[in-house]
Amino acid sequence: MVPNDVCSAKIATQRVVRLGAALFNGDHGRLAEEIARIEAAGLDFVHLDVFDGYFVPDIGFAPRTIAALRSLTKLPFEVHLGVKEPLRFASSLADAGVDLILVHIESTQMIHETIFAIRALGVRVGVALALGTGVAFAEPVIGEVDAILQLSRVTGEGVKGASFDPKALTRLRSLRRCASKAGVDVDIQVAGGVNRDNARELAREGANSLALGAGIYRVPDMRSEVERVRELLATRSVAESPHESTPRGKL
C-alpha cells in the first residue's frame, strides 16, 4: 500500500551543504585524471553511477573500476546503484571500498532487508528515488538510512548533462519535512542536471549534498566553477562542509 500521510513539520533553514562530482559526466578515457581534477577542485565526495543495463538502460561503472580508482583519493565514494536486485552488487562494491551505497526503492521488493544487509557489510546505506516514484515511499525507511538521493532528471535517458526537472524541488521539501517529522537528520542528496543555476534553490528546499554534473567538466577550470557554486550557496546563508560524509543522527 502506498503511504498517504503528508509529512508536515518546520524545515530547517540552514544546513551543511556538501558538493560532489558525478564522475559519469567526466572523460571515461581519463578517469584517473578526472579524479585528480575533482580532488584539486576542493569537492567533498565522488558520486559514482553503477547501472546494469536493465533497471537503467545504460551501463555505469563496474565495481572493479571503482576499486581501481579507490587508491587515487581519500574523498568519499558514494554509489548510486541503479540496478535490479541491488544485493547482487553490494558485496563487490563494499570490497571496492565505497563509503555509501544508495539503492533504488523501486529496484527490490525487500527494501528493509536490503538496507540491513548493506549496513552489515560495514557500508553506509541510503535509498534513491526516481522522479516518478512517490516521496511517501521513502517515509517507512527514512529512520533506517543515512541518506536519500532524489534524482532530478530521468535516469538513463541517454543524454549526459540533460535538463534539470524542477519537480525535484517540491519533492525535496517533502523529504526534508518527512525527516524532520521522524526526528532524523538524514543526508538528502540530489543528482541529475545539478549546476550553478539551481544549486541555491536545491539547498533552500532541503538538499544538503549536491552531485554536480556536466557543468563542472565543461569549463577549463573546475576549481573556479566549484568556488563559484560555493559563493552562490553562501548568499543563501547555507554553510559548507569539510571533506567528509554527513553523519547520521537525531535532530
Cβ proximity of 76 and 46 under 8 Å: yes
Q: Which fold has domain 16-240?
A: TIM Barrel (3.20.20)
Cβ proximity of 82 and 156 under 8 Å: yes
pLDDT at 237: 52
Cβ proximity of 157 and 131 under 8 Å: no
Tens digit of pLDDT for each residue in 42-59?
999 999 999 887 887 788
Tens digit of pLDDT for each residue in 160-182?
445 788 889 999 999 999 999 98
Q: Any residues with CB less than 8 A from the CB of 187 and at least 6 apart, and which?
A: 126, 146, 147, 148, 208, 209, 245, 246, 248
Q: Where are the domains of the chain?
A: 16-240
Binning pLDDT at 50, 70 and 90, where does residue 109 land? confident
* Residue type present at position 148: I
Binning pLDDT at 50, 70 and 90, where does residue 155 land? low
pLDDT at 56: 79
- Kindly tell me if the per-residue pLDDT of 146 is higher than 90: yes
Q: Which residue has the higher pLDDT, 55 or 125?
A: 125
